[in-house]
Amino acid sequence: EAQVTQNPRYLITVTGKKLTVTCSQNMNHEYMSWYRQDPGLGLRQIYYSMNVEVTDKGDVPEGYKVSRKEKRNFPLILESPSPNQTSLYFCASRGDPLTDTQYFGPGTRLTVL
């Protein structure tokens, strides 16, 4: 089954404690991205990757890092989480640019105390 998986699905942590949210896709997609979803703001892109070792900032990259060492994985790293990073996070991937269709993971709900 074609899918995008994220782990963990839920996480409660404290300010300053480094964490990583993993994202993996099994569709051999080149393009992957991270979004955060906040009430009244819709989804905003954090980082994206056009291919292995190619990453770039989206609209709200501050406080986040990413890496793309393998095509299937695109982890999101919060080196020093703060309460304003409490949000719902989605990973997405896309194959052929002509299809315009992005596939989203189930989401990770992060709470930073």
Partner 1 sequence: GDSVTQMEGPVTLSEEAFLTINCTYTATGYPSLFWYVQYPGEGLQLLLKATKADDKGSNKGFEATYRKETTSFHLEKGSVQVSDSAVYFCALKGPLAETSGSRLTFGEGTQLTVNP
Residue ranges in contact with partner 1 by CB under 8 A: 4, 31, 33, 37, 40-45, 48, 50, 56, 58-59, 90, 92, 94, 97, 100-102, 104-107
Give the Cα separation of 75 and 47 in Å (integer): 10
Percentage helix, strand, coil, to 5, in the chain? 5, 50, 45
Instruction: Tell me how far, at minimum, the Cβ of 48 lies from partner 1, in Å.
Output: 4
Instruction: Tell me how far, at minimum, the Cβ of 66 lies from partner 1, in Å.
Output: 12
Give the Cα separation of 66 and 47 in Å (integer): 7
Nearer to partner 1, 56 or 82 (CB): 56
Nearer to partner 1, 44 or 65 (CB): 44
Nearer to partner 1, 33 or 85 (CB): 33
Instruction: Tell me how far, at minimum, the Cβ of 96 lies from partner 1, in Å.
Output: 11
Nearer to partner 1, 14 or 41 (CB): 41
Instruction: Tell me how far, at minimum, the Cβ of 13 lies from partner 1, in Å.
Output: 21
CA 113 → CA 16, 46, 66, 103, 110, distances in Å?
A: 10, 21, 22, 30, 10
